[in-house]
Structure 1
Amino acid sequence: MICKVETERLIIRNFTPEDWRDLHEYFSDEQVLKFEPYKPFSEEECKEEALSRSKGDTFLAVSLKSTGKVIGNLYFSKEDFMTWELGYIFNSKYHKKGYATESVKAIMKYAFENLGTRRIIANCDPQNISSWKLLEAVNMRREGHLLQNIYFFEDENGNPLWKDTYEYGMLVDEWKTINMK
Structure 2
Amino acid sequence: MDNIISERLIIRRFKKEDWQDLFEYLSDEEVVKFEPYDIYSEQQAKEEAVNRSNNECFYAVCLKESGKVIGNLYFGKGDFDTWELGYVFNRKYQGNGYASESSKALIDHAFENLGVRRIIALCSDKNERSWKLMERLGMRREGLFLQNVTFKTDDDGQPIWFNSYEYAILKSEWNK
**Short-chain TM bin:** over 0.9
Question: Which range moves more in the overlay, 86-95 or 149-158?
Answer: 149-158
SS of the residue 1:116 aligns to:
coil
Query: CA offset at residue 160 of structure 1?
Result: 1.6
Matched, 1:173 2:172: yes
Work out the CA distance in 2 between the residues paired with 1:155 and 1:101.
33
Deviation string 1:132-174 (CA, Å, 9 cap, x unpaired) is 0000001000000111000011234442211000000000111
SS of the residue 1:100 aligns to:
helix
The letter for the 1-side match of 2:37 is: Y
Work out the CA distance in 2 between the residues paired with 1:57 and 1:72.
16
Deviation string 1:74-124 (CA, Å, 9 cap, x unpaired) is 010011111110000000010110000000100000000000000000001
Q: TM-score when scaled to structure 2?
A: 0.97
Name the count of aligned residue pairs: 176
In structure 1, the residue matched to 2:141 is: 142
Q: State the superposition RMSD in angstroms.
A: 0.9
Matched, 1:90 2:85: no
SS of the residue 1:97 aligns to:
coil
Work out the CA distance in 1 between the residues paired with 2:155 and 2:106.
40
Correspondence 1:18-167 to 2 at 5 A:
18-167=17-166
In structure 2, the residue matched to 1:9 is: 8
Q: TM-score when scaled to structure 1?
A: 0.95
In structure 1, list runs of 5 or more residues that go unmatched.
none
Query: CA offset at residue 4 of structure 1?
Result: 1.2
% identical aligned pairs: 58
The letter for the 2-side match of 1:162 is: W
In structure 2, list runs of 5 or more residues that go unmatched.
none
